[in-house]
Structure 1
Amino acid sequence: MTNDNMLTKKPILSPDRCFSPEPVQRRLAHQFFDSISALPLVCPHGHVDPALLANPAARFGSPTELFIIPDHYILRMLYSRGLSLQALGIATHDGLPAETDHRKIWQLFAEHFYLFQGTPSGLWLKDELTNVFGVDEPLNSRNAGRIYDYLEGLLALSEFSPRALFKRFNIEVLCTTDAASDNLENQRSLHEEGFTQIRPTFRPDAVVNLDAPGWRENLTKLESSVGREISTYATFIQALEERRAIFKKMGATATDQGAATPYTTRLSEHEAEAIFARALNGKLNPGDVEQFNGHIFMEMARMSVEDGLVMQMHCGVMRNHNSALFERFGSDKGGDIPLKIEWTQNLHPLLSAYGNDGRFRLIIFGMDESTYSREMAPLAGHYPTVLLGPPWWFHDSVNGMERYFNQVMETAGIYNTAGFNDDTRAFVSIPARHNVWRRVACNWLAGLVTRGLVDEEEGYDMTRALAYDLAKSAYKLD
């Protein structure tokens, strides 16, 4: 690296990454990838903070603030090998001191960078450092200071502002994930400037999950957003409907809801009202949370039929499994662990009510891979309203994508899937995540061609669909 920020060494990423060593398949994979590599990125579901883009003067901060502190993938790996979150700059709720020297945190990260070898995080990080910032050597303890200085210099430049990188990344549309009570001021200001390709997504979890941390405070925020008290279940549902309408006016095409399981059930108005009253009084009964969640899934489906918003369900994770860590540091610190779940019976009430209604669209995501071929693919391969979301979270990886393709495509076909979404809050990782998906998809399709299962022309069509078309169609972004 030179002082003028111009790097000359050969990039460290293999051009054959994610591709088969078998020469015919590899050649086809390269051809397929070349045919779609310049397509814009469609990002229909993610967690990028819209404030990053709403403020023209916004910057990412230090390299440590960009790569380490907000990334729960990074934190969980380092924590698993004995590093404290405080040493990584994460403050505790009880006020104990955390490291504030970002250069020192970066050095610690670099000394343990080897931990990410062979992981999706390692692949993304190498891609980001190489292709976004031009770093030409593997990060380690010896060069950590030089690379930190180099990155710090780039991050101060306007060419590396969030807005500049948004354009450079060739992002056609980016959907954020926003609380039901969010005023959407960031999206509104962006739209006034012409950035209408940044759209909100309605995420009601903080108020519909009755055991969510700070549920009563979250409900107060929802009351503020609708301008009135929410004292009954009926007024609660009306508030959600009103907020969905506001989101839709701001360009939203989808909702998103997360729960431990995809359990659905229809409660009577009296039953729902009674549970909501108990929640307001802080006296929930055992089973109330699951029953209410199951009922709200049904209500969200009904609302989607009426307003046309695509419904997403993310299920199969126990949040904050490490209770002690959650109590000290809060959520999104890497302590979430997958659960075994069931889809067929749990979704039966919802799909019996809405699964054949052409106005409804449901995209399902699950962490239990054992359900891919047994339940998820058959559901999507039958119901005209159901699509499969891409491999999620721990399975957003080369091996996870290959398992997904091999387990779901024979039954569901690619056109009953929703393409790819990056599902990230790490903005600069977006191109890397899409790049991995596109490469793995091209390699998988090249394998089908070499085995005579599809012809080469079909392979090109399927490549484009998986890289671009399916996501636009699934989320009604055409």
Structure 2
Amino acid sequence: MSQSLAAHPDRLLPADPGTRSIARSLLERVQDLPIISPHGHVDAAVIEQNTPFPDPAALLVSPDHYVTRLIHADGVSMDQLHAGESQDSREVWRRFVEAWPLFEGTASGYWLRTQFEQVFKLGADLSGMSADASYDAISAKLVEPDFRPRQLFKDFNIEVLATTDDPLDNLASHKALTEDPTFNGRVLPTFRPDAYLNVAHPTWVANVERLIETAADGGRGYAGYIAALENRRRYFVDHGAVSADHGVRTPATLKLDAAEAEALFEKARSGEATAADRDAFEAHMMYQMARMSVDDGLVMTIHPGSYRNHHGPTFESFGADTGHDIPFAINYTEAIRPLLQDFGTAKDFHLVLFTLDETVFSRELAPLAGFYPSVYLGAPWWFLDAPDAMLRFRSAVTETAGFSRSSGFIDDTRAFCSIPARHDASRRIEASFLARLVAEHRVSEDRAHELILDIVDGSPRRVFKL
């Protein structure tokens, strides 16, 4: 069997020997620090109930749109990649192994290779094993008594893991974990109100009616809607939440007076809102979310710039999050200005701005974070949470905003077993970037050791008020 590349101690570190030596020293400083994951999509119930993981295909292939999208691009139909009634899991896994060469050079390939080596202990690259042998080896690991979410939470050295939750979720699993004396980690809920703010969402009207009925304390109409959102945010705060996350199409914000907002709200409820009305109402609600964050202390994170469900037939057959969300160009400077006019300098307000459009890193986001006390740079996300893109991010923003204005790494993953691989990759990239600055005599080595500690551990604690 050939040794996996994921076992090489210098993976992702600089090729130049002198710079690589500096990077090794920096990485050693942070390699064993606990994982702080302030934004992700792991289901809290999986950890609370210590649910066994399913078979290899259902765990690592079918639910991972990073994986299925590239195999689909090679001509494999989507229904052949989803384990279930029509597809045997072993057959899905065979198709994945056949496609494994497609992942060379990709971030997905790096994370998967690291999981195979570090988590599943395969001891060889997937290309050196047959599909059946690798399937059987992973399956054997999945049935081991210690290979359960709670033990892995401990083995992965996770200190904080934030989930992403519907505003009306009762957060029972979070409460149970908090009260469980046998569980030592922190699993925090995150308020995610997209389906209640975006009028274009297919269930917006039903969602809003349920929200008002459940949480408005007898209020009605737009006023009841606002009161219900405020009440549910407080419920999340009481259950440990530190942030509210917003997956919007664009970062547009708009300040409307109550009468204007109410008129748009009623048009939307009656189905009479135009596309422009829908956009205006969502932009206004982003302004309202900022106002609420100033009041209740929840960190506000914004994830814009994805054209969701780009391929209609795939969405109709397989639903959302199946690999065809595509980035597009966005504008932050003008779009976010109405919000920042009123809240950009508000005491203790934290606003973390993410993007899938690399062009705004140096042109807009770094200058914004370099002036407004509230603004922090969200880590490279989704298509950009890859080694070269993370290096480009550091190069684009550091000269304007320094290191103190960034959020720390965000893994943003549903794939629980990939969390340590993703954080390890980020730490190696940060060590590589700082090592270059040291080698170029732009930062002292002593200062670089301080900086990497703050980037990896201090920044996420500070930005997300942990």
TM superposition score normalised by structure 1: 0.94
CA–CA distance in structure 2, aligned partners of residues 419 and 268 of structure 1 = 36
Q: Is the counterpart of residue 204 in structure 1 residue 197 in structure 2?
A: no
SS at match of 1:198: strand
Aligned pairs for 1:14-413 within 5 A: 14-56=8-50, 58-89=51-82, 98-99=86-87, 101-140=88-127, 143-194=130-181, 195=183, 197-223=186-212, 225-226=214-215, 231-413=220-402
Structure 1 229/214 Cα, relative in aligned 2: closer, same or farther at 3 Å? farther
Does 433-442 or 150-159 show the bigger shift?
Answer: 150-159
CA–CA distance in structure 2, aligned partners of residues 309 and 315 of structure 1 = 19
CA–CA distance in structure 1, aligned partners of residues 120 and 351 of structure 2 = 38
Gaps of 5+ in 2: none
CA–CA distance in structure 2, aligned partners of residues 135 and 453 of structure 1 = 41
Q: Where does residue 455 of structure 1 map in the other structure? A: 444
Q: Deviations over 1:125-181 (max 9, x none)?
A: 000010001011222495110111111111011211011100000001001010111
Q: Deviations over 1:321-344 (max 9, x none)?
A: 111211121100011011111111
Q: Which amino acid aligns with 2:16?
A: E
CA drift at 1:11: 4.6
Does 177-186 or 378-387 show the bigger shift?
Answer: 177-186
Please tell me whether the aligned partners of residues 202 and 255 of structure 1 are also in contact (alpha carbons under 8 angstroms): yes
CA drift at 1:213: 2.9
CA drift at 1:359: 2.7
CA drift at 1:283: 2.0
Please tell me whether the aligned partners of residues 58 and 83 of structure 2 are also in contact (alpha carbons under 8 angstroms): no
CA–CA distance in structure 1, aligned partners of residues 398 and 69 of structure 2 = 32
Structure 1 429/225 Cα, relative in aligned 2: closer, same or farther at 3 Å? farther
Please tell me whether the aligned partners of residues 260 and 339 of structure 1 are also in contact (alpha carbons under 8 angstroms): no
Does 67-76 or 278-287 show the bigger shift?
Answer: 278-287
Q: Which amino acid aligns with 1:449?
A: V
Q: Deviations over 1:219-262 (max 9, x none)?
A: 34434642767751111110100000000011111100111111
Q: Which amino acid aligns with 1:442?
A: A
Give the total of aligned pairs. 463
CA–CA distance in structure 2, aligned partners of residues 340 and 230 of structure 1 = 39
SS at match of 1:438: helix
SS at match of 2:367: helix
Gaps of 5+ in 1: 2-8, 92-96
CA drift at 1:358: 1.4
Please tell me whether the aligned partners of residues 88 and 98 of structure 1 are also in contact (alpha carbons under 8 angstroms): no
Does 275-284 or 347-356 show the bigger shift?
Answer: 275-284
CA drift at 1:274: 1.4
Identity %: 41
CA–CA distance in structure 1, aligned partners of residues 363 and 331 of structure 2 = 10
CA–CA distance in structure 1, aligned partners of residues 275 and 93 of structure 2 = 46
CA–CA distance in structure 1, aligned partners of residues 318 and 419 of structure 2 = 26
SS at match of 1:440: helix
CA–CA distance in structure 2, aligned partners of residues 355 and 420 of structure 1 = 23
SS at match of 1:416: coil
Q: Where does residue 6 of structure 1 map in the other structure? A: none
RMSD: 1.6
Please tell me whether the aligned partners of residues 366 and 401 of structure 2 are also in contact (alpha carbons under 8 angstroms): yes
Please tell me whether the aligned partners of residues 367 and 393 of structure 1 are also in contact (alpha carbons under 8 angstroms): yes
Please tell me whether the aligned partners of residues 312 and 364 of structure 1 are also in contact (alpha carbons under 8 angstroms): yes
SS at match of 2:80: helix
Q: Deviations over 1:426-456 (max 9, x none)?
A: 0000000001100000000000000000000
Structure 1 141/89 Cα, relative in aligned 2: closer, same or farther at 3 Å? farther
SS at match of 1:287: helix
CA–CA distance in structure 2, aligned partners of residues 225 and 400 of structure 1 = 43
CA–CA distance in structure 1, aligned partners of residues 78 and 335 of structure 2 = 38
Q: Where does residue 5 of structure 1 map in the other structure? A: none
TM superposition score normalised by structure 2: 0.96
CA–CA distance in structure 1, aligned partners of residues 275 and 144 of structure 2 = 55
Q: Which amino acid aligns with 2:239?
A: M
Q: Which amino acid aligns with 1:148?
A: Y
CA–CA distance in structure 1, aligned partners of residues 458 and 201 of structure 2 = 36
CA–CA distance in structure 2, aligned partners of residues 206 and 320 of structure 1 = 15
Structure 1 90/240 Cα, relative in aligned 2: closer, same or farther at 3 Å? farther
CA–CA distance in structure 2, aligned partners of residues 55 and 453 of structure 1 = 50
Q: Where does residue 469 of structure 1 map in the other structure? A: 458
Please tell me whether the aligned partners of residues 411 and 423 of structure 2 are also in contact (alpha carbons under 8 angstroms): yes
CA–CA distance in structure 1, aligned partners of residues 407 and 379 of structure 2 = 7
CA drift at 1:285: 1.5
Q: Which amino acid aligns with 1:60?
A: F
Q: Which amino acid aligns with 2:25?
A: Q
